[in-house]
Every structure is written in C-alpha cells, then in structure tokens.
Amino acid sequence: MILLVVAVIVVYFSSFSFGLTELDDIIFIREFHEYNENLSNLITSFHRGLFDAVKDPYYRPLFMDSMILNYLASDHGQNIVSYHVINVLLHLGSVLLLFKLFGKLGIKELTSFILCLLFAIHPVLSQAVAWIPGRNDTLLAIFILSFFLQSISYANTENIKHLLLSTLFLLLAFFTKETAVFAAPAAFTILVLILNKNWKSKNNIIQYGAWVGCFLVWYLMRASATIKTNISPAQVAHDFIPRLPLIIQYLGKVFLPFNLSVFPTQQDTVYYFGIAAVLIVAAIIYLNKERNIKIVLGGLAIFLLFLLPVLLVPNNLNEQSFEHRLYLPVIGILILLSQSSLFYNKLTEKNMFTGGIIVAVVFAGLNFAHQKNFSDPIAFWTSATETSPNSAYANMMLAARLEDNQQSFKLFRKAYALNPKEKYLNYYYGVMLQKQDSVMQSEQYLLTEKNTSGYYECDFYLARVAMEKKDFPAAISYLVTYIKTDVANKIANTNLLLLYLDTNQPEKAKEHVKSMITKGVEVPQALRQRLGV
C-alpha cells in the first residue's frame, strides 16, 4: 500500500502548483465567495441547487460544503494550492479503499496491487484529480467504496455496526452526487453475483430496506429543496440512443488513453480506439480458461451501471463527455480485468509485477502530459479547442482569454458559426468590443446575453454603455443590480459612488460610502473629500 501512496503523490505532485481552469472552478471559488464566507450555508446547501439556488437541476450539497470548508481553510479562496492538495488526498483515499475492496472480493494481492496502481495513475482519471470540481467524483467514490465494504462486512458477519455504517455512507453518497442512485444496484451485483450471497437471505433483505430508506430520505430532501428540474423524460429518451456510442469511446480512453481531452464531445471523439479496446477485452477474457464468468459479468455490470448517468443526461443540459465521469465506471473494468489472461498466465509473480510497473510508467507519462492542460485557463482552453474543434463553447472561452485580438476575432467568428446561441457568447463578444473602445457596438450583444441567460456580468458593461450615452439613471440602475451579486467589486462600487456625486445625490452617496466601508471596499480619498466624510 505504501507504493500506491507514493505513486499518487509522485504523479500528482505537479498539480499542487496549478491554478484555476475557469471552467466551473471560478464559480465555486470566486463567484460564490460570499456564499462560502458563511458557515451556516453548510446547512443551506441541502436546500438549494448547485450552480443556482432555484434554477438548477443539480443537487450536490456535500460537494458545496467541501468547497465552503476548503474556501475558509485557504485564506478565503486565495490559496488555490489547498484545493489541489485536498483533491489529491481524496484520490489517494479512493485508491486505498479500492485496494481493500479487491481484497474483500477475493482478488489476489498482486493482482489487486497492479489494478489499483493503474487506477492511481491512469491518465483518463486525471481530470477528477487535477481539475478542482472533479473532486465531486473522488468524494463520491470514497463514500460508495466505503458503502461497498461495510455492506460486504454486514453480509458476512450480520454485525449491526456494519449495517449502520453502510447506511451512513450510502446517504453521504446520495448527498454528494446523483450517480449514487446506482450504488445500491452495484452493491447487489457484488453481493449476489460476485460473492455468491443468497439474494433473499435475511441480512440481505435488511440491507435492501436500508437502501430504499436512504433513497427516500435523499428524494424527499431533494424534493423539498428550492430547485427546478427542467429535464424532460421525453428529451432523455430522445437523446439516450444517440449517446450509446459513448460507451465505445469511453472504453477506448480506458485501454488506449491517447486521445484524451479536457473538454471532450462525442462529435470530436474517434471510435477506433474504442473498437480496438472491445476486441482487446474480448480476447484477454477469452484466453483465460480459468475465468470466473460471474466476476466478469459483475465487473461489466458495475461499469455500465455507473456509466448510465452519462447516457441519461440530455444534450440540452450537457453535451460534454467529461472523462472524470469514468472515475467509478473504471472500477468495474478493473474487476473484469482481474479475470483476464493478463493475470492468469505462466508468468512468475516477479515478471507480472515488472510488467505492471512498465505499463504504469507509460500511463504516468501520459498522465503528466495531460495534467498540464489543467494548469491555467489558457492551457485548458487551448487544449479544449484542439481536441474539440467543433465546440462553440471551447472556442468562445479561449477567444475571451487571448490577448491577440486578431486570433480572438477568428475564434469568436468560429464560435458564432458553430452555435450563435451559445451561452455567454454574446457577453464575451460585447466585452471584447469594449476593450477595443467599440462601446456602443457592444450594447446589442450584452443586451442579448442579459435577456437570454441573465448573466450578471452584463450589467457591469451595460453601465459603461449607459454612461457613454449620458444616461446616468440607467448606469446607476445597472451598477446597483450588478453589486447585488459582486458586492465587493471595487471598480463597480467606486463608479456608482461617482455617479451619485455627479448626479447630485449626496444622501445616496453617503449611504453608499457606509455600505462600501461595511463590505471592506476602499473609498478613494478624493471622493471622501468631495462628500466631506
């Protein structure tokens, strides 16, 4: 186990120096700073959606709580290193729990070690570790693996302690991510198919009752939360069949991880690696005449169960086939591989260990190379556009971050050609026009974005348009609205104070000065003198 710890630290040590990618992480750390400041929100997280309190189908309170605690422990979000350290520690915990689970499943120790080593350093899982929001999957894995271990222990011993712990871990998994809905069926697969437990034994029936109870508690809590589920069953059914080929694509990335992407799409991912992977799996399972077919089927079932949520996500909610979603499904593949000719052959244990190390070194090299794409926004979105060239969102995000205006315009035009209705596209285009002093031209794009997505940042730049038009009441209105979200923005607060002074509203100016001081926003001395405060 010490070697597994060393492998995780060595492979992911470089991630400690990474910053933000500006995909979701900036939301949870920067934009949610006011939410993260309040410890009472550890409870509030159980009553709201993830990205938005009421307009979000995602319900992940424990992930939100992890971000609150991390924020407060990281100098209020300033120390990004701590976020990456926690991510690596969560991954390390999952690796060690997986090793323990394989032992419970009767897998040989050397086989367990090699499989867990591959899990520890596999490049396809690097997004779950190197990308801060990827911790949702590692945190979920810790709870689900602990649930599996306690369920097996209860089935073996009937000790009530293990039943209570398994119930607790399943509840924690539910409140981490919706994928936990498939944890109980996966546990059933392990107990009945892999471990040959009687499915209708007394202690198993008791466990089924506990699993149903956990689901009901989660369902009722989710139903009482202030979220709106806009997912149509008809849309899910419509998109399910076209998304099935993702299984082949994901298999290709597990066995031949040479076409990884930080922002993958089904359209831009090739199939030949996946087809080759299917042939490889079929061959190495077939060549092992000693294979336990129940374990093979059990591993395949666990892979498909945990991959099912990816297939059920409608395209209008999320088109990306993110690789961090493989974190749990890969466990099923590893269980299946334990019955392959890779581990049932004439090789000595020493040669098998050497072979495993060689593969691990190759995978570690691929991991190092892929990890760098998560180091900063430019690296991330450059990689995204290279690997998913038909993604309007990726092209837009890179365009908004480049200093080369000519290249930015090129990428923006491409994004518009791919999807003129892409969320935030009009906002970013409007901001770019303002940076080029085309303030009046930016208005139509900013208004379009504000009317479609309601993105709060539009108000800041629309205030500048209003000031250019000498429409000071409108400028004040935009800034007041903007500051409700970004309460401590120095520029916005100072501009609002200037507007109050320039429009001869001294009382409102004095009230705003008090508000700025309360929020810890510096009030320029020259403006204090104008007000006489």
The tens digit of pLDDT for each residue in 20-53 reads 999 999 999 998 988 999 999 999 999 999 998 8
Q: Are 267 and 390 in contact (CB under 8 A)?
A: yes
pLDDT in tens, 76-123: 888 999 999 999 999 999 999 999 999 999 999 999 999 999 999 999
- Say which DSSP state 495 is in: H
Token pair of 108 as six digits: 């040989």
Higher pLDDT, 226 or 119: 119
pLDDT above 70: residue 421: yes
When mean pLDDT is compared over 234-248, 458-472, 498-512, the highest value belongs to: 458-472
Q: What is the pLDDT of residues 470-519, one digit of tens each?
A: 999 999 999 999 998 888 899 999 999 999 999 999 899 989 989 999 88
Contact in structure between 396 and 455 (CB atoms under 8 Å) = no
- CA 61, CA 46: separation in Å to the nearest integer? 5
Q: Is 2 exposed, middle or buried (0-12, 13-18, 19+ CB in 10 A)?
A: exposed
For residues 481 and 476, give the distance between their C-alpha atoms in angstroms, rounded to a whole number: 9
Report pLDDT for 212: 98
Q: What pLDDT, on a 0 to 100 scale, did the predictor assign at position 227?
A: 74
Overall average pLDDT of the 311-320 stretch: 82
In Å, what is the CA distance from 97 to each residue of 2, 4, 72, 113, 419?
13, 11, 28, 12, 43
| Nearest by Cα to 260 from 340, 174, 370 | 370
How far is residue 392 from each of residues 29, 133, 204, 265, 414, measured CA to CA in Å? 25, 22, 49, 11, 7
Q: How confident is the model at residue 139 (pLDDT cuts 50, 70, 90)?
A: very high
Report the alpha-carbon distance of residue 164 to residue 2 in Å, rounded.
30
Tell me the CB-side half-sphere exposure of residue 354, using CA atoms within 13 A. 5
pLDDT band at 56 (very low <50, low <70, confident <90, very high): confident
Closest to 204 in 3D by CA, of 166, 151, 148: 151
Residue 164 near residue 147, CB atoms below 8 Å? no
- pLDDT tens-digit profile of 255-302? 999 999 999 999 999 999 999 999 999 999 999 999 999 999 999 999
Q: Give residue 504's pLDDT.
A: 92
Give the pLDDT confidence of 337-386 residue by residue, as tens digits: 999 999 999 899 999 999 999 999 999 999 999 999 999 999 999 999 99
**Does position 409 have pLDDT exceeding 70, yes or no?**
yes
pTM for this entry: 0.90
pLDDT of 124: 98
List pLDDT tens digits, range 189-221: 999 999 999 999 999 999 999 999 999 999 999
pLDDT the model gives residue 229: 67
* List of domains in the chain: 2-374 (no CATH), 391-478 (1.25.40.10), 487-533 (no CATH)
Q: What is the pLDDT of residue 85?
A: 97
pLDDT value of position 264: 96
